[in-house]
Structure 1
Amino acid sequence: MTDALAMIRLENVTKKFGDLTAVDDISLDIPEGEFFVVLGPNAAGKTTTIKMMAGLLRPTAGEVFLGGINIRENPVAAKKLLSFVPDFPFLYEKLTPLEFFDFVGDLFEMPRTDARAEAAKLVDYLNLGDYRHSLIEYLSHGTRQRVAIAAALLHHPKVFVIDEPMVGLDPKHARLVKDILKKKSGEGMTVFLSSHQLNLAEELADRVGIIHKGKLIACAHPQELQNAGGSSSALEEVFLKLTEEEGEG
């Protein structure tokens, strides 16, 4: 894989908190348009890795590149390519969704007419029409999650990073979110999704990474991982086997 194709590149990334090594020498290239799902047990290092990719934490060692741009050396240029939706996103509660979309569009220097036209499409697609003039503080967690995802898609990011995207979503809206992320990936947006839900990896991923105890212990197409575990192995069985073996070592 060439540098030009790596929209996300981690080079020997390590993060320590005192004596604790949360992320241990991870290297990974993710090309344009790939839908990458990272799995791992609790405290495996997934969220710490994501925060370094988003520029919220600085690696103890190693480098992170987005679209070939070193996020440490040129954070503003790198972050212009990025959208990040954490598991519990922060939203300005005294704004309505439409006011929040205006704010996000301004942050990314979008012409107001373009931002509002794109917001209207996302509001319609994610069934936010009934809530567009309501204060965010009165919205349910699932509705807030959809507002956060719509805002993150507003500026057509090249890299979309999302942590536990289905938290609080009912089956109907979970389906909408999965469909729009897969569609955007097919159009060239690189998606990095972290989840505990193995079915998301089986359904959506072009490749799956498994992180355990801060290390990237597997990285392959879901079917390749299943084949490695035996012809009848489900991804769940492979995941449990790999993380148990790694824990015993």
Structure 2
Amino acid sequence: MADISKSANPDALRLRALKKSFGGSSGKVAVDGLDLTIRPGEFYALLGANGAGKTTTLRMVAGLLQPDEGEISICGIDARKNPIAAKALTAWLPDEPLLYDKLAPLEYLEFVAGLWGLDCAAGAARAEELLHRLGLWEQRNQRCEGFSRGMRQKVALAGALIHGPRLLMLDEPLTGLDAGAARLVKNMLAEQTRQGVAVVLTTHILEVAEKLADRIGIIAHGRLIAEGSLRQLCAMSAGAANLEDVFLDLTARGEAA
């Protein structure tokens, strides 16, 4: 993947007044006028309680849900007006990755590479590189149907990275991974940010956000209630010694509001 200059590019992701409700005018408001900006090469953790609007937000950015209102810009492209161009720069890894179980990892990655328009040689080379990096090369010809959740998660991550996205969004990507696999994935994500890729991650493992994120956003009732570095967030919450204290304090305030 070519290096992406942080200064020469527009924001990797820019959301303005984003809204989404389910169930009509009297239904649940999932995302409520959300504003969010993420820069190229930034590792951003989006935190919130269950039902806060995190996954709905990422699904809208990925083009899987249509917003009711608002703007979505991906690397300067209006994703609502030009969704195909925006999707070409984006990768989305849900918390329950779907694979073609009858395919082996190498077959799956070469198939996904073809969907993105990579030629056969480039797709095969990229697939081999990712499988080696994720410790799956020995299983490259085994069908995915027999894989553990952790192995499926790694295959899905390889599929997300195959086309060299500039915005990578992951919903609970470390679920089901053992300690060694989790470290491998975290190292790979950190490498992506060094190459200028913006990484947006949701997680309930607050230690991951605490250690990896450049900035952390906390969302409640579909609204961003706090944002900043770990140090900045701790300053917002008197007496907070770690991200867990900050998260519990600020989300409690958000619920009360």
Task: Sort the TM-score into its range (normalised by shorter chain).
Answer: over 0.9
Q: CA deviation at 1:4?
A: 4.5
Q: Is 1:50 matched with 2:58?
A: yes
- Is the CA contact (8 Å cut-off) linking 1:227 and 1:233 kept in structure 2? no
Residue in structure 2 matched with residue 135 of structure 1 by the alignment: 143
Secondary structure of the 1:26 match is: strand
Q: CA deviation at 1:127?
A: 0.7
Equivalent runs, 1:1-249 vs 2, <5 Å: 4-18=9-23, 19-230=27-238, 233-249=241-257
Q: Report the Cα distance in structure 2 between the residues aligned to 1:5 and 1:227, rounded to whole angstroms.
A: 29
Q: CA deviation at 1:228?
A: 2.5
> TM-score, length-normalised on structure 1?
0.96
Secondary structure of the 2:12 match is: strand
Q: Report the Cα distance in structure 2 between the residues aligned to 1:142 and 1:28, rounded to whole angstroms.
A: 30
Q: CA deviation at 1:130?
A: 2.2
Q: CA deviation at 1:241?
A: 0.5
Secondary structure of the 2:34 match is: strand
Q: CA deviation at 1:231?
A: 6.2
| Letter paired with 1:32 | P
**Structure 1 residue ranges (4+ consecutive) displaced by more than 4 angstroms after TM superposition:** none
Q: Report the Cα distance in structure 2 between the residues aligned to 1:232 and 1:144, rounded to whole angstroms.
A: 37
| Letter paired with 2:11 | A
Structure 2 residues without counterparts, runs of 5 or longer: 1-6
Q: Deviations over 1:33-54 (max 9, x none)?
A: 1111000001110000010010
Q: For residues 3 and 38 of structure 1, do their structure 2 counterparts lie closer, same or farther at Cα, with a shift above 3 Å needed?
A: farther
| Letter paired with 1:212 | A
- Is the CA contact (8 Å cut-off) linking 2:9 and 2:40 kept in structure 1? no
Q: Report the Cα distance in structure 2 between the residues aligned to 1:205 and 1:24, rounded to whole angstroms.
A: 24
| Letter paired with 1:5 | P
Q: Deviations over 1:152-173 (max 9, x none)?
A: 1111111101000001100100
- Is the CA contact (8 Å cut-off) linking 1:3 and 1:68 kept in structure 2? no
Q: How many residues align?
A: 249
Q: Report the Cα distance in structure 2 between the residues aligned to 1:147 and 1:132, rounded to whole angstroms.
A: 10
Q: Report the Cα distance in structure 2 between the residues aligned to 1:228 and 1:40, rounded to whole angstroms.
A: 16
Q: Report the Cα distance in structure 1 between the residues aligned to 2:233 and 2:80, rounded to whole angstroms.
A: 33
Q: Deviations over 1:1-32 (max 9, x none)?
A: x9952110111000011221000100111111
Q: For residues 108 and 184 of structure 1, do their structure 2 counterparts lie closer, same or farther at Cα, with a shift above 3 Å needed?
A: same
- Is the CA contact (8 Å cut-off) linking 2:240 and 2:246 kept in structure 1? no
The two structures, once aligned, show a CA RMSD in angstroms of 1.6
> TM-score, length-normalised on structure 2?
0.93
Q: Deviations over 1:139-189 (max 9, x none)?
A: 111100000001111111111010000011001000000000011101100
Q: Deviations over 1:78-99 (max 9, x none)?
A: 0000111000011111111111
Structure 1 residues without counterparts, runs of 5 or longer: none
- Is the CA contact (8 Å cut-off) linking 1:11 and 1:28 kept in structure 2? yes
- Is the CA contact (8 Å cut-off) linking 2:237 and 2:250 kept in structure 1? no
